[in-house]
Amino acid sequence: MKKHFLLFVFTFTLFTYSLLSQELLKKTIYFDHNKFSLDQKAKASLEECYTTINSAELVEITITGHTDADGNDLYNTKLSKNRTDAVANYFQSRGIMSNLIKTSSFGEALPITGNGSTSEKKENRRVEITLNYKSITVGDIFDKLDKESQFFKVSNKKDIEIKGNEGTIITIPKNSLVNKSGKIINGIVEIELQEFYKKADIISANLHTMSDQNILESGGMIFITAKYRNENLQLKTGATLQLEFASGKDMQGMNTFYGEEKDNQINWIQKGNSTLTTTLTVFVVDDEESNDTSSTFQRDTISSKENSEEDKLILKSNKLRWINCDRFYKFENKTDLIVKAEISFKPHIRLVFKDINSIMPVNFNKERQEFLVKDIPVGKKATLIAFCLVNEKPYFFSKEIVTQSNMMENITLVETTMEILKLNLKNL
């Protein structure tokens, strides 16, 4: 131990300030005598730092280690380095890249108080952490991408028939729409319809083609509601609507799935074992009721006026909301895809297949601190895309890939415009 001039450094435990659109956060953690391991209190403080990093764009972390004046200079320099290494290792274990972490060790050279008492020595056994980051605001990009609804004003006293812009035809028998109390509506009602046949529309509405962890091939998705004076309506008991689903040619083995809310997305659920060759069962989710309901319908093949080979599926349902026609995509060789991306941007990542009408979400895995999608088919051409809204500006990434075993992709989102982003989605 050598004598030192006392250097007073006023350290705030936690503060932030603006600096050329960047911010700093400082944190100090303390160590027991002759120790460099992290106790629970220190880990909690470091986790607070990580929470800030996880919601911002990190520029750099600086870590400085210090000791009290017990022991010789060489030993204390090594001890302070061990303390900085412990903190740096913690951040790296949470996924922070090592090139963003700068460390330095000063041993006993920079005390913030005297070393005469136990309490003073405790204050000097410390590691000081400074986070240099750009504060960002992540917005909901789906508000800007979501497809516009089609609205129809109709009388409930007559049979209702409406046709969507993409060929969906919906027929509702007269006096079938009622309010929550079961009262038949006698006035003019408003029908809302959305059709999701194109991949761009499916992605833009934050939809996908997954039933839990199983891949589906979609024949299209329909969303329909009815309102009277801003009150949600439903079909009366025993009533059914008929829906002609404008689908593609290859519909063999398709079944009907219903949509339920799961993790802020619609998850498609099949119930029963219906097929196109006999009957299909429709399941839909209602706003006011959580009970699943079903009705069966027979399959018809209707030739268009142009005598094309396009099929239309005839569905009947006694509920409004989401209806989807899919089949499970069967494959043997499976693998996982890991995606490395800027976590603070909270990007929406999708794997869009070329030769099957399937879209898989790549979700963030908190335990592994990476984006991950499991059980994807091997050897398929696909487009890996990512998009988000940061500080009111859209960002986008796209890459053509062929799925392989044990895949990992590093992506960098680039600022773009909404017009270009929509065009890129349209070209998928």
**168-217 pLDDT per residue, tens:** 899 999 999 999 999 999 999 999 999 999 999 999 999 999 999 999 99
Q: What is residue 297's predicted lDDT score, i.e. its pLDDT?
A: 35
The pLDDT tens digits of the residues spanning 47-103 come to 999 888 877 778 999 999 999 999 999 999 999 999 999 999 999 998 898 999 999
Contact between 257 and 218 under an 8 Å Cβ cutoff? The reply is no
For 237-290, the DSSP string reads: TT--EEEEEE--S--TT-EEEEEEEETTEEEEE--S---TTSEEEEEE--SS--
The pTM score is 0.70
Contact between 271 and 258 under an 8 Å Cβ cutoff? The reply is yes
- With 0-12 CB in 10 A as exposed, 13-18 as middle and 19+ as buried, what is 120? middle
**Which residue in 137, 139, 144 sits closest to 420, CA to CA?**
144
Instruction: Tell me how far apart the alpha carbons of residues 345 and 332 are, in angstroms, rounded to a whole number.
Output: 34
Contact between 286 and 320 under an 8 Å Cβ cutoff? The reply is yes
Residue 155 in tokens? 């009388």
What is the identity of the amino acid at 116?
G
**Which residue in 94, 95, 121, 91 sits closest to 103, CA to CA?**
91
**Which residue in 261, 311, 251, 252 sits closest to 290, CA to CA?**
261
Mean pLDDT of 306-317: 55
142-328 has CATH 2.60.40 classification:
no
Q: What is residue 136's predicted lDDT score, i.e. its pLDDT?
A: 80
How far does Cα 185 stand from its chain's mean position? Answer: 39
Q: What is residue 288's predicted lDDT score, i.e. its pLDDT?
A: 40
Q: 12 pLDDT exceeds 60?
A: no
Q: 325 pLDDT exceeds 90?
A: no
Superfamily of domain 18-135: OmpA-like domain (3.30.1330.60)
Q: Do the domains 334-426 and 142-328 match in fold?
A: no
- At 368, give phi and psi (nearest 5°): -95, -10
Query: Would you kindly state where each structural domain of the chain is located, as residue ranges?
Result: 18-135, 142-328, 334-426
The H or E element that residue 23 is part of is strand 22-30
Residue 138 in tokens? 């992540």
**Which residue in 359, 271, 381, 265 sits closest to 317, CA to CA?**
271
Structurally, at CATH architecture level, domain 334-426 sits in: Sandwich (2.60)
| Cα dihedral: 210, 215, 218, 222 (round 10) | -10
- With 0-12 CB in 10 A as exposed, 13-18 as middle and 19+ as buried, what is 293? middle
The pLDDT tens digits of the residues spanning 94-133 come to 889 899 999 999 999 999 999 999 999 999 999 999 999 8
Instruction: Tell me how far apart the alpha carbons of residues 292 and 282 are, in angstroms, rounded to a whole number.
Output: 10
Contact between 129 and 66 under an 8 Å Cβ cutoff? The reply is no
- At 314, give phi and psi (nearest 5°): -100, 115
In angstroms and rounded to an integer, the radius of gyration of the C-alpha atoms of the chain is 30
Instruction: Tell me how far apart the alpha carbons of residues 378 and 35 are, in angstroms, rounded to a whole number.
Output: 50
Most confident option among 161-170, 293-302, 363-372: 161-170
Q: What is residue 258's predicted lDDT score, i.e. its pLDDT?
A: 85
**Which residue in 180, 202, 172, 328 sits closest to 265, CA to CA?**
202
Position 283 confidence tier, pLDDT thresholds 50, 70, 90 = very low
Residue 51 in tokens? 């929470």
Q: What is residue 52's predicted lDDT score, i.e. its pLDDT?
A: 85
Cα atoms in the Cβ-side hemisphere of radius 13 Å centred on 244: 20
What is the identity of the amino acid at 80?
S
Mean pLDDT of 299-324: 58
Instruction: Name every residue whose Cβ is closer than 8 Å to that of residue 253 and which is 6 or more positions away in sequence.
Output: 275, 276, 327
Contact between 428 and 385 under an 8 Å Cβ cutoff? The reply is yes
**Which residue in 132, 128, 264 sits closest to 206, CA to CA?**
264
Largest distance between two CA atoms of the chain: 98
Mean pLDDT of 256-271: 84
Q: Are strands 138-139 and 101-105 parallel, antiparallel or unpaired?
A: unpaired
